[in-house]
Amino acid sequence: MTADRTKPEVSTVYGAVRGRYENGIAVFRGIPYAAPPFGPLRFRPPAPPEPWDGVRDAGSFGPTAPKPPYSEAFAQYLSDPAIPGEDCLNLNVWTPEPGPGARLPVLVWLHGGALTRGSSAVPVYDGATFARDGVVCVSVNYRLGVEGYGLFPDAPANAGLRDQIAALEWVRASISAFGGDPDRVTVAGQSAGAISTGALLAAPRTRGLFRRAVLQSGAPEAADRDKVRRMVRRMAARLRIPATAESFAAADPAQLLRAQAEVGRFSSPVLGGPAFGIVVDGDVMPHDPLDALVDGDAARDVDLMMGWTRDEYRLWLVPGGLLERVDRLGAVALAGARARCHCGNEVVRGYRAAHPDAGAAETVGQLVTDHLLRVPLHRVADARPGSSYVYEFAWPSTLLGLGACHALELGFVFDSGDSPDSRKLAGEGAPQALADAMHGAWVRFAESGDPGWRAWDETHPVQVFGEGEPYVAYGPRDAEFDLWKADVTMRGMRTRRLVRR
Protein backbone atom coordinates (compact mmCIF):
# COMPACT_ATOMS: atom_id res chain seq x y z
CA MET A 1 0.00 0.00 0.00
CA THR A 2 1.26 3.52 -0.79
CA ALA A 3 1.63 6.28 1.74
CA ASP A 4 -0.80 8.45 -0.24
CA ARG A 5 -3.84 8.67 2.05
CA THR A 6 -6.07 9.71 -0.86
CA LYS A 7 -5.28 6.81 -3.20
CA PRO A 8 -4.53 3.48 -1.50
CA GLU A 9 -2.83 0.77 -3.55
CA VAL A 10 -3.22 -2.97 -3.10
CA SER A 11 -1.73 -5.92 -4.98
CA THR A 12 -4.15 -8.60 -6.23
CA VAL A 13 -3.29 -11.92 -7.86
CA TYR A 14 -3.53 -10.28 -11.30
CA GLY A 15 -1.91 -6.90 -10.60
CA ALA A 16 -1.94 -3.82 -8.40
CA VAL A 17 -5.00 -1.56 -8.11
CA ARG A 18 -5.37 2.02 -6.91
CA GLY A 19 -8.56 2.99 -5.07
CA ARG A 20 -9.79 6.06 -3.23
CA TYR A 21 -10.29 7.04 0.37
CA GLU A 22 -13.84 8.20 0.99
CA ASN A 23 -14.71 9.33 4.53
CA GLY A 24 -11.90 7.21 5.92
CA ILE A 25 -12.90 4.06 3.97
CA ALA A 26 -10.67 2.67 1.22
CA VAL A 27 -12.82 1.93 -1.84
CA PHE A 28 -11.72 -0.03 -4.91
CA ARG A 29 -14.20 -0.26 -7.77
CA GLY A 30 -14.30 -2.17 -11.03
CA ILE A 31 -11.57 -4.73 -10.28
CA PRO A 32 -11.68 -7.52 -12.90
CA TYR A 33 -11.90 -11.03 -11.48
CA ALA A 34 -12.34 -12.67 -14.90
CA ALA A 35 -11.73 -11.82 -18.54
CA PRO A 36 -14.40 -9.96 -20.57
CA PRO A 37 -16.96 -12.66 -21.58
CA PHE A 38 -17.08 -11.68 -25.25
CA GLY A 39 -15.49 -12.78 -28.50
CA PRO A 40 -14.35 -16.42 -28.14
CA LEU A 41 -15.35 -16.33 -24.44
CA ARG A 42 -19.01 -15.55 -25.17
CA PHE A 43 -21.31 -18.10 -23.46
CA ARG A 44 -18.24 -19.89 -22.10
CA PRO A 45 -17.10 -20.40 -18.49
CA PRO A 46 -15.21 -17.42 -17.03
CA ALA A 47 -11.50 -17.27 -17.81
CA PRO A 48 -8.83 -15.50 -15.72
CA PRO A 49 -8.21 -11.88 -16.67
CA GLU A 50 -4.97 -10.90 -18.34
CA PRO A 51 -2.50 -9.82 -15.63
CA TRP A 52 -1.45 -6.19 -15.92
CA ASP A 53 1.76 -4.32 -15.27
CA GLY A 54 1.86 -1.14 -13.25
CA VAL A 55 -1.10 0.01 -11.17
CA ARG A 56 -4.66 -0.18 -12.49
CA ASP A 57 -7.00 2.62 -11.49
CA ALA A 58 -9.98 1.37 -9.46
CA GLY A 59 -11.74 4.65 -8.82
CA SER A 60 -14.98 4.02 -10.75
CA PHE A 61 -17.55 1.25 -11.03
CA GLY A 62 -16.77 -1.07 -13.91
CA PRO A 63 -19.09 -1.98 -16.78
CA THR A 64 -22.33 -3.75 -15.87
CA ALA A 65 -23.48 -6.96 -17.53
CA PRO A 66 -25.73 -6.52 -20.59
CA LYS A 67 -29.36 -6.19 -19.46
CA PRO A 68 -32.62 -4.59 -20.52
CA PRO A 69 -33.89 -1.65 -18.44
CA TYR A 70 -36.75 -2.03 -15.98
CA SER A 71 -40.17 -1.11 -17.26
CA GLU A 72 -41.38 2.35 -16.32
CA ALA A 73 -43.69 0.84 -13.70
CA PHE A 74 -40.77 -0.78 -11.85
CA ALA A 75 -38.16 1.91 -12.53
CA GLN A 76 -40.05 4.33 -10.25
CA TYR A 77 -39.18 2.01 -7.34
CA LEU A 78 -35.89 0.33 -8.34
CA SER A 79 -32.64 1.90 -9.52
CA ASP A 80 -30.53 -0.03 -12.02
CA PRO A 81 -27.54 1.86 -13.45
CA ALA A 82 -26.16 0.62 -16.78
CA ILE A 83 -22.45 1.18 -17.44
CA PRO A 84 -21.26 0.29 -20.96
CA GLY A 85 -18.21 -1.83 -21.68
CA GLU A 86 -17.18 -5.44 -22.13
CA ASP A 87 -15.10 -5.87 -18.96
CA CYS A 88 -18.25 -6.58 -16.93
CA LEU A 89 -16.91 -9.41 -14.73
CA ASN A 90 -15.68 -7.07 -12.03
CA LEU A 91 -16.13 -6.44 -8.34
CA ASN A 92 -15.78 -3.68 -5.76
CA VAL A 93 -14.15 -3.66 -2.32
CA TRP A 94 -14.76 -1.38 0.67
CA THR A 95 -12.28 -1.81 3.52
CA PRO A 96 -11.38 0.17 6.64
CA GLU A 97 -7.86 -1.20 6.74
CA PRO A 98 -6.23 -2.13 3.41
CA GLY A 99 -3.10 -4.23 3.63
CA PRO A 100 -2.35 -7.72 4.98
CA GLY A 101 -2.61 -8.43 8.67
CA ALA A 102 -5.99 -7.01 9.63
CA ARG A 103 -7.89 -10.32 9.16
CA LEU A 104 -11.33 -8.66 9.18
CA PRO A 105 -14.55 -10.53 8.39
CA VAL A 106 -15.67 -10.31 4.76
CA LEU A 107 -19.16 -9.97 3.30
CA VAL A 108 -19.56 -10.78 -0.42
CA TRP A 109 -22.77 -9.28 -1.86
CA LEU A 110 -24.69 -10.80 -4.79
CA HIS A 111 -27.32 -8.44 -6.19
CA GLY A 112 -30.88 -9.36 -7.11
CA GLY A 113 -32.87 -8.65 -10.26
CA ALA A 114 -34.43 -11.97 -11.38
CA LEU A 115 -31.05 -12.97 -12.91
CA THR A 116 -31.83 -10.53 -15.73
CA ARG A 117 -31.21 -7.11 -14.16
CA GLY A 118 -29.30 -5.42 -11.36
CA SER A 119 -25.62 -4.76 -10.72
CA SER A 120 -23.10 -3.98 -8.01
CA ALA A 121 -23.36 -0.29 -8.92
CA VAL A 122 -26.87 0.13 -7.44
CA PRO A 123 -26.40 2.96 -4.89
CA VAL A 124 -28.37 1.15 -2.17
CA TYR A 125 -25.55 -1.46 -2.05
CA ASP A 126 -22.93 0.99 -0.81
CA GLY A 127 -20.56 -1.17 1.22
CA ALA A 128 -19.04 1.76 3.11
CA THR A 129 -21.28 1.18 6.14
CA PHE A 130 -20.05 -2.40 6.52
CA ALA A 131 -16.44 -1.21 6.26
CA ARG A 132 -17.23 1.53 8.79
CA ASP A 133 -18.24 -1.23 11.20
CA GLY A 134 -15.21 -3.45 10.61
CA VAL A 135 -16.39 -5.73 7.79
CA VAL A 136 -14.68 -5.80 4.39
CA CYS A 137 -17.51 -5.62 1.82
CA VAL A 138 -17.22 -7.01 -1.72
CA SER A 139 -19.96 -6.60 -4.34
CA VAL A 140 -19.95 -8.59 -7.57
CA ASN A 141 -21.16 -8.24 -11.16
CA TYR A 142 -22.00 -11.46 -13.00
CA ARG A 143 -23.54 -12.34 -16.35
CA LEU A 144 -27.32 -12.00 -16.58
CA GLY A 145 -30.23 -13.19 -18.71
CA VAL A 146 -29.48 -15.26 -21.77
CA GLU A 147 -25.74 -14.44 -21.49
CA GLY A 148 -25.55 -15.93 -18.01
CA TYR A 149 -28.40 -18.44 -17.84
CA GLY A 150 -29.37 -19.40 -21.38
CA LEU A 151 -29.47 -23.13 -22.06
CA PHE A 152 -27.83 -24.11 -25.36
CA PRO A 153 -26.76 -27.39 -26.95
CA ASP A 154 -23.31 -25.98 -27.75
CA ALA A 155 -22.34 -24.22 -24.49
CA PRO A 156 -22.07 -25.10 -20.78
CA ALA A 157 -24.99 -24.09 -18.57
CA ASN A 158 -24.97 -21.68 -15.62
CA ALA A 159 -22.37 -19.19 -16.87
CA GLY A 160 -23.56 -16.58 -14.35
CA LEU A 161 -23.18 -19.03 -11.46
CA ARG A 162 -19.71 -19.93 -12.72
CA ASP A 163 -18.90 -16.21 -12.67
CA GLN A 164 -19.90 -16.02 -9.01
CA ILE A 165 -17.67 -19.00 -8.19
CA ALA A 166 -14.77 -17.30 -10.00
CA ALA A 167 -15.39 -14.15 -7.92
CA LEU A 168 -15.30 -16.19 -4.70
CA GLU A 169 -12.04 -17.79 -5.85
CA TRP A 170 -10.67 -14.27 -6.39
CA VAL A 171 -11.76 -13.34 -2.87
CA ARG A 172 -10.04 -16.41 -1.47
CA ALA A 173 -6.79 -15.51 -3.25
CA SER A 174 -6.74 -11.71 -2.89
CA ILE A 175 -8.91 -10.47 -0.02
CA SER A 176 -6.18 -10.67 2.64
CA ALA A 177 -4.35 -7.87 0.78
CA PHE A 178 -7.41 -5.68 1.45
CA GLY A 179 -7.45 -6.51 5.15
CA GLY A 180 -9.97 -9.37 4.90
CA ASP A 181 -9.83 -12.84 6.40
CA PRO A 182 -10.31 -15.49 3.68
CA ASP A 183 -11.45 -17.93 6.38
CA ARG A 184 -14.28 -15.63 7.54
CA VAL A 185 -16.18 -14.97 4.32
CA THR A 186 -19.96 -14.56 4.33
CA VAL A 187 -21.84 -14.76 1.02
CA ALA A 188 -25.06 -12.74 1.09
CA GLY A 189 -27.68 -12.05 -1.53
CA GLN A 190 -31.23 -10.87 -1.99
CA SER A 191 -33.87 -12.30 -4.36
CA ALA A 192 -31.92 -13.71 -7.34
CA GLY A 193 -28.79 -13.10 -5.28
CA ALA A 194 -30.24 -15.32 -2.53
CA ILE A 195 -31.18 -18.00 -5.06
CA SER A 196 -27.58 -17.80 -6.27
CA THR A 197 -26.31 -18.07 -2.70
CA GLY A 198 -28.41 -21.20 -2.21
CA ALA A 199 -26.88 -22.70 -5.34
CA LEU A 200 -23.37 -21.77 -4.18
CA LEU A 201 -24.05 -23.51 -0.87
CA ALA A 202 -24.88 -26.70 -2.77
CA ALA A 203 -22.11 -26.46 -5.41
CA PRO A 204 -19.21 -28.84 -4.65
CA ARG A 205 -16.68 -26.38 -6.15
CA THR A 206 -17.35 -23.77 -3.46
CA ARG A 207 -16.27 -25.88 -0.50
CA GLY A 208 -13.85 -23.90 1.59
CA LEU A 209 -14.63 -20.60 -0.16
CA PHE A 210 -17.01 -19.21 2.48
CA ARG A 211 -17.99 -19.85 6.08
CA ARG A 212 -21.43 -18.22 6.34
CA ALA A 213 -24.35 -17.35 4.09
CA VAL A 214 -27.33 -14.98 4.12
CA LEU A 215 -30.42 -15.64 1.99
CA GLN A 216 -32.73 -12.63 1.80
CA SER A 217 -36.08 -13.22 0.08
CA GLY A 218 -34.85 -16.03 -2.11
CA ALA A 219 -34.65 -19.79 -1.61
CA PRO A 220 -32.45 -22.52 -3.10
CA GLU A 221 -34.05 -23.76 -6.30
CA ALA A 222 -33.33 -25.33 -9.65
CA ALA A 223 -35.14 -23.89 -12.65
CA ASP A 224 -37.11 -26.15 -14.97
CA ARG A 225 -34.80 -26.83 -17.91
CA ASP A 226 -37.72 -26.82 -20.34
CA LYS A 227 -38.79 -23.35 -19.19
CA VAL A 228 -35.28 -22.01 -19.70
CA ARG A 229 -35.09 -23.64 -23.14
CA ARG A 230 -38.45 -22.08 -23.97
CA MET A 231 -37.04 -18.63 -23.24
CA VAL A 232 -34.12 -19.29 -25.57
CA ARG A 233 -36.35 -20.70 -28.32
CA ARG A 234 -38.77 -17.79 -28.13
CA MET A 235 -35.88 -15.36 -28.40
CA ALA A 236 -34.48 -17.33 -31.34
CA ALA A 237 -37.87 -17.22 -33.08
CA ARG A 238 -38.07 -13.44 -32.69
CA LEU A 239 -34.53 -13.02 -33.95
CA ARG A 240 -35.01 -15.63 -36.71
CA ILE A 241 -31.85 -17.48 -35.79
CA PRO A 242 -31.09 -21.01 -34.54
CA ALA A 243 -31.32 -21.54 -30.77
CA THR A 244 -27.57 -22.06 -30.39
CA ALA A 245 -24.88 -20.18 -28.52
CA GLU A 246 -22.99 -19.69 -31.77
CA SER A 247 -25.96 -17.95 -33.40
CA PHE A 248 -26.76 -15.85 -30.33
CA ALA A 249 -23.13 -14.75 -30.10
CA ALA A 250 -23.33 -13.47 -33.69
CA ALA A 251 -26.59 -11.55 -33.11
CA ASP A 252 -26.73 -7.79 -32.60
CA PRO A 253 -26.43 -7.21 -28.81
CA ALA A 254 -29.15 -4.53 -28.73
CA GLN A 255 -31.59 -6.76 -30.61
CA LEU A 256 -30.74 -9.61 -28.25
CA LEU A 257 -31.69 -7.50 -25.22
CA ARG A 258 -34.91 -6.32 -26.86
CA ALA A 259 -35.91 -9.90 -27.65
CA GLN A 260 -35.11 -10.97 -24.08
CA ALA A 261 -37.25 -8.17 -22.64
CA GLU A 262 -40.16 -9.04 -24.93
CA VAL A 263 -40.25 -12.76 -24.19
CA GLY A 264 -39.72 -12.18 -20.46
CA ARG A 265 -42.65 -9.80 -19.95
CA PHE A 266 -44.75 -12.43 -18.17
CA SER A 267 -41.97 -14.09 -16.19
CA SER A 268 -42.97 -12.72 -12.81
CA PRO A 269 -43.04 -14.71 -9.54
CA VAL A 270 -46.85 -14.46 -9.46
CA LEU A 271 -47.59 -15.16 -13.12
CA GLY A 272 -44.95 -17.85 -13.57
CA GLY A 273 -44.13 -18.57 -17.19
CA PRO A 274 -40.75 -19.33 -18.74
CA ALA A 275 -37.78 -17.63 -17.14
CA PHE A 276 -34.03 -17.83 -16.88
CA GLY A 277 -32.64 -19.64 -13.86
CA ILE A 278 -29.94 -21.88 -12.44
CA VAL A 279 -30.34 -25.45 -13.69
CA VAL A 280 -29.03 -28.84 -12.65
CA ASP A 281 -26.22 -29.40 -15.14
CA GLY A 282 -24.28 -32.41 -13.84
CA ASP A 283 -21.23 -30.18 -13.43
CA VAL A 284 -21.16 -27.10 -11.17
CA MET A 285 -24.73 -27.87 -10.08
CA PRO A 286 -24.97 -31.69 -9.95
CA HIS A 287 -28.16 -31.81 -7.83
CA ASP A 288 -31.18 -29.67 -7.03
CA PRO A 289 -29.77 -27.22 -4.45
CA LEU A 290 -32.81 -27.41 -2.16
CA ASP A 291 -32.59 -31.21 -2.04
CA ALA A 292 -28.84 -31.01 -1.48
CA LEU A 293 -29.31 -28.69 1.50
CA VAL A 294 -32.36 -30.36 3.05
CA ASP A 295 -31.66 -34.04 2.41
CA GLY A 296 -27.93 -34.08 1.68
CA ASP A 297 -24.69 -33.10 3.36
CA ALA A 298 -24.02 -29.94 1.34
CA ALA A 299 -22.50 -27.07 3.34
CA ARG A 300 -23.20 -28.63 6.73
CA ASP A 301 -20.43 -26.50 8.23
CA VAL A 302 -21.84 -23.20 6.96
CA ASP A 303 -23.83 -20.90 9.28
CA LEU A 304 -27.07 -19.63 7.72
CA MET A 305 -29.23 -16.56 8.16
CA MET A 306 -32.43 -16.55 6.11
CA GLY A 307 -35.57 -14.48 5.92
CA TRP A 308 -38.27 -12.68 4.01
CA THR A 309 -40.39 -9.55 4.05
CA ARG A 310 -43.96 -9.69 5.31
CA ASP A 311 -45.49 -8.48 2.02
CA GLU A 312 -42.99 -9.68 -0.61
CA TYR A 313 -45.70 -9.92 -3.27
CA ARG A 314 -46.59 -6.23 -3.21
CA LEU A 315 -43.55 -5.30 -5.28
CA TRP A 316 -44.66 -7.87 -7.86
CA LEU A 317 -48.29 -6.72 -7.96
CA VAL A 318 -48.44 -2.99 -7.14
CA PRO A 319 -46.41 -1.60 -10.10
CA GLY A 320 -48.61 -1.40 -13.18
CA GLY A 321 -51.86 -1.96 -11.26
CA LEU A 322 -51.70 -5.77 -11.26
CA LEU A 323 -52.92 -5.88 -7.64
CA GLU A 324 -56.30 -4.41 -8.58
CA ARG A 325 -56.65 -6.70 -11.60
CA VAL A 326 -55.96 -9.79 -9.50
CA ASP A 327 -58.54 -8.65 -6.93
CA ARG A 328 -61.14 -8.26 -9.70
CA LEU A 329 -60.44 -11.78 -10.98
CA GLY A 330 -61.23 -13.24 -7.56
CA ALA A 331 -61.78 -17.00 -7.75
CA VAL A 332 -60.09 -17.21 -11.15
CA ALA A 333 -56.92 -15.70 -9.68
CA LEU A 334 -57.03 -18.10 -6.74
CA ALA A 335 -57.35 -21.06 -9.11
CA GLY A 336 -54.37 -19.74 -11.04
CA ALA A 337 -52.37 -19.41 -7.84
CA ARG A 338 -53.21 -22.99 -6.91
CA ALA A 339 -51.87 -24.15 -10.28
CA ARG A 340 -48.82 -21.87 -9.95
CA CYS A 341 -48.03 -23.30 -6.52
CA HIS A 342 -48.88 -26.93 -7.38
CA CYS A 343 -51.02 -27.24 -4.26
CA GLY A 344 -54.43 -28.70 -3.47
CA ASN A 345 -57.69 -26.90 -2.74
CA GLU A 346 -57.15 -27.55 0.96
CA VAL A 347 -54.23 -25.13 1.04
CA VAL A 348 -56.20 -22.33 -0.63
CA ARG A 349 -59.18 -22.93 1.66
CA GLY A 350 -56.88 -22.90 4.68
CA TYR A 351 -55.45 -19.51 3.72
CA ARG A 352 -58.91 -18.07 3.13
CA ALA A 353 -60.09 -19.36 6.52
CA ALA A 354 -57.00 -18.06 8.34
CA HIS A 355 -57.31 -14.62 6.73
CA PRO A 356 -61.02 -14.07 6.04
CA ASP A 357 -60.62 -10.32 5.45
CA ALA A 358 -57.88 -10.70 2.83
CA GLY A 359 -58.73 -9.98 -0.79
CA ALA A 360 -57.89 -12.29 -3.66
CA ALA A 361 -54.65 -10.45 -4.46
CA GLU A 362 -53.35 -10.67 -0.90
CA THR A 363 -54.21 -14.37 -0.69
CA VAL A 364 -52.60 -15.07 -4.05
CA GLY A 365 -49.54 -13.06 -3.04
CA GLN A 366 -49.06 -14.84 0.25
CA LEU A 367 -49.60 -18.26 -1.36
CA VAL A 368 -46.95 -17.57 -3.99
CA THR A 369 -44.57 -16.04 -1.42
CA ASP A 370 -44.87 -19.08 0.83
CA HIS A 371 -44.50 -21.50 -2.10
CA LEU A 372 -41.40 -19.78 -3.50
CA LEU A 373 -39.71 -18.45 -0.37
CA ARG A 374 -40.97 -19.20 3.09
CA VAL A 375 -41.74 -22.92 2.87
CA PRO A 376 -38.37 -23.89 1.31
CA LEU A 377 -36.43 -21.65 3.70
CA HIS A 378 -38.39 -23.17 6.58
CA ARG A 379 -37.35 -26.63 5.31
CA VAL A 380 -33.70 -25.60 5.17
CA ALA A 381 -33.85 -24.24 8.73
CA ASP A 382 -35.55 -27.43 9.96
CA ALA A 383 -32.74 -29.47 8.39
CA ARG A 384 -30.05 -27.33 10.07
CA PRO A 385 -31.15 -26.43 13.61
CA GLY A 386 -28.62 -24.73 15.83
CA SER A 387 -26.75 -23.06 12.97
CA SER A 388 -29.68 -21.34 11.21
CA TYR A 389 -31.23 -17.97 12.06
CA VAL A 390 -34.54 -16.79 10.59
CA TYR A 391 -35.97 -13.26 10.38
CA GLU A 392 -39.00 -11.42 9.00
CA PHE A 393 -38.94 -7.79 7.87
CA ALA A 394 -42.31 -6.22 8.67
CA TRP A 395 -41.87 -2.44 8.50
CA PRO A 396 -44.25 -0.99 5.86
CA SER A 397 -43.06 1.52 3.28
CA THR A 398 -44.56 4.98 3.61
CA LEU A 399 -45.46 4.76 -0.10
CA LEU A 400 -49.09 3.81 -0.65
CA GLY A 401 -49.76 0.13 -1.24
CA LEU A 402 -46.22 -1.26 -0.96
CA GLY A 403 -46.35 -2.48 2.63
CA ALA A 404 -43.27 -4.45 3.71
CA CYS A 405 -42.54 -5.42 0.12
CA HIS A 406 -39.79 -7.33 -1.65
CA ALA A 407 -36.41 -5.49 -1.58
CA LEU A 408 -37.55 -2.90 0.98
CA GLU A 409 -35.19 -4.27 3.63
CA LEU A 410 -32.09 -3.55 1.52
CA GLY A 411 -31.78 0.08 2.59
CA PHE A 412 -31.89 -1.06 6.21
CA VAL A 413 -29.37 -3.90 5.80
CA PHE A 414 -26.90 -1.52 4.13
CA ASP A 415 -27.89 1.42 6.37
CA SER A 416 -28.34 3.45 3.19
CA GLY A 417 -31.85 4.70 3.91
CA ASP A 418 -30.87 8.34 3.54
CA SER A 419 -30.03 7.85 -0.15
CA PRO A 420 -32.54 8.91 -2.85
CA ASP A 421 -32.43 5.38 -4.26
CA SER A 422 -33.54 3.84 -0.96
CA ARG A 423 -36.32 6.41 -0.63
CA LYS A 424 -37.70 5.33 -4.02
CA LEU A 425 -38.97 2.21 -2.25
CA ALA A 426 -39.17 3.22 1.42
CA GLY A 427 -40.53 6.73 1.02
CA GLU A 428 -39.70 9.42 3.55
CA GLY A 429 -39.19 8.87 7.24
CA ALA A 430 -37.53 5.43 7.34
CA PRO A 431 -36.57 4.86 10.99
CA GLN A 432 -32.82 4.98 11.63
CA ALA A 433 -33.24 2.77 14.71
CA LEU A 434 -34.50 -0.05 12.49
CA ALA A 435 -31.51 0.36 10.17
CA ASP A 436 -29.20 0.25 13.18
CA ALA A 437 -30.83 -3.00 14.34
CA MET A 438 -30.80 -4.77 10.98
CA HIS A 439 -27.39 -3.59 9.82
CA GLY A 440 -25.99 -4.46 13.24
CA ALA A 441 -27.38 -8.00 12.99
CA TRP A 442 -25.74 -8.52 9.59
CA VAL A 443 -22.41 -7.21 10.94
CA ARG A 444 -22.57 -9.54 13.95
CA PHE A 445 -23.41 -12.49 11.73
CA ALA A 446 -20.42 -11.76 9.44
CA GLU A 447 -18.19 -11.46 12.51
CA SER A 448 -19.28 -14.49 14.51
CA GLY A 449 -22.16 -16.37 12.85
CA ASP A 450 -24.58 -15.17 15.55
CA PRO A 451 -26.80 -12.19 14.59
CA GLY A 452 -28.07 -11.76 18.12
CA TRP A 453 -31.20 -13.87 18.50
CA ARG A 454 -32.03 -17.49 19.18
CA ALA A 455 -30.90 -20.05 16.63
CA TRP A 456 -33.56 -22.18 14.93
CA ASP A 457 -34.89 -25.06 16.99
CA GLU A 458 -38.18 -26.84 17.62
CA THR A 459 -39.74 -23.56 18.86
CA HIS A 460 -39.16 -21.91 15.42
CA PRO A 461 -37.84 -18.51 16.61
CA VAL A 462 -38.18 -15.71 14.04
CA GLN A 463 -36.65 -12.28 14.64
CA VAL A 464 -39.20 -9.68 13.52
CA PHE A 465 -37.86 -6.32 12.32
CA GLY A 466 -40.85 -4.01 12.20
CA GLU A 467 -42.27 -0.95 13.87
CA GLY A 468 -40.85 -0.50 17.35
CA GLU A 469 -38.17 -2.69 18.89
CA PRO A 470 -37.26 -5.94 17.09
CA TYR A 471 -38.58 -9.01 18.88
CA VAL A 472 -38.60 -12.80 18.55
CA ALA A 473 -41.87 -14.50 17.55
CA TYR A 474 -42.15 -18.26 17.93
CA GLY A 475 -43.66 -20.14 15.00
CA PRO A 476 -45.53 -17.09 13.61
CA ARG A 477 -46.29 -18.83 10.31
CA ASP A 478 -46.48 -22.43 11.45
CA ALA A 479 -50.23 -22.64 10.73
CA GLU A 480 -49.65 -21.85 7.04
CA PHE A 481 -46.64 -24.14 6.83
CA ASP A 482 -48.66 -26.99 8.32
CA LEU A 483 -51.13 -26.62 5.44
CA TRP A 484 -48.32 -27.23 2.95
CA LYS A 485 -47.01 -30.22 4.90
CA ALA A 486 -50.48 -31.74 5.02
CA ASP A 487 -50.91 -31.10 1.29
CA VAL A 488 -47.67 -32.93 0.48
CA THR A 489 -48.79 -35.84 2.67
CA MET A 490 -52.22 -36.00 0.99
CA ARG A 491 -50.73 -35.93 -2.50
CA GLY A 492 -48.33 -38.68 -1.50
CA MET A 493 -51.25 -40.81 -0.28
CA ARG A 494 -53.17 -40.20 -3.52
CA THR A 495 -50.13 -41.20 -5.56
CA ARG A 496 -49.69 -44.42 -3.58
CA ARG A 497 -53.38 -45.27 -4.06
CA LEU A 498 -53.06 -44.75 -7.82
CA VAL A 499 -49.96 -46.96 -7.92
CA ARG A 500 -51.75 -49.74 -6.03
CA ARG A 501 -54.59 -49.61 -8.54
d(CA 274, CA 171): 34
* Neighbouring-strand partners of residue 406: none
SS3 421: helix
DSSP 300-345: TT-EEEEEEETTTTHHHHTGGGHHHHHHHHTHHHHHHHHHHHT--H
Q: What separation in angstroms does the CA of 501 have from each of 280, 421, 490?
A: 33, 59, 17
CA 12 to chain centre: 26
| Selection from 179, 213, 178 nearest residue 198 by Cα | 213
> What are the CA-CA distances from residue 389 to residues 266, 360, 369, 461 (Å)?
34, 31, 19, 8
The one catalytic residue among 312, 392, 409, 480:
312
Dist CA 480 CA 370 (whole Å): 8
Instruction: Tally the C-alpha atoms within 13 A of residue 80's C-alpha that lie toward its C-beta.
Output: 21
Distances (CA, A) of 482 to 98, 463, 477: 49, 20, 9
Query: Rounded to an integer, what is the distance from CA 467 to the centroid of its chain?
Result: 25
Name which of 43, 61, 69, 62 is nearest 160 in CA terms: 43
Told to judge if 355 belongs to the known catalytic residues of this protein, a careful annotator would answer no
**DSSP β-ladder status, 20-22 and 90-95:** unpaired
Catalytic one of 174, 191, 388, 416: 191
Whether residue 50 lies in the annotated active site: no
- Looking at residue 374, what DSSP letter applies? I
Nearest to 395 by CA among 461, 306, 473, 465: 465
- The catalytic residue among 406, 409, 439, 480 is 406
Does 406 participate in catalysis according to the annotation?
yes
Task: Give catalytic residues, as residue numbers.
Answer: 191, 312, 406
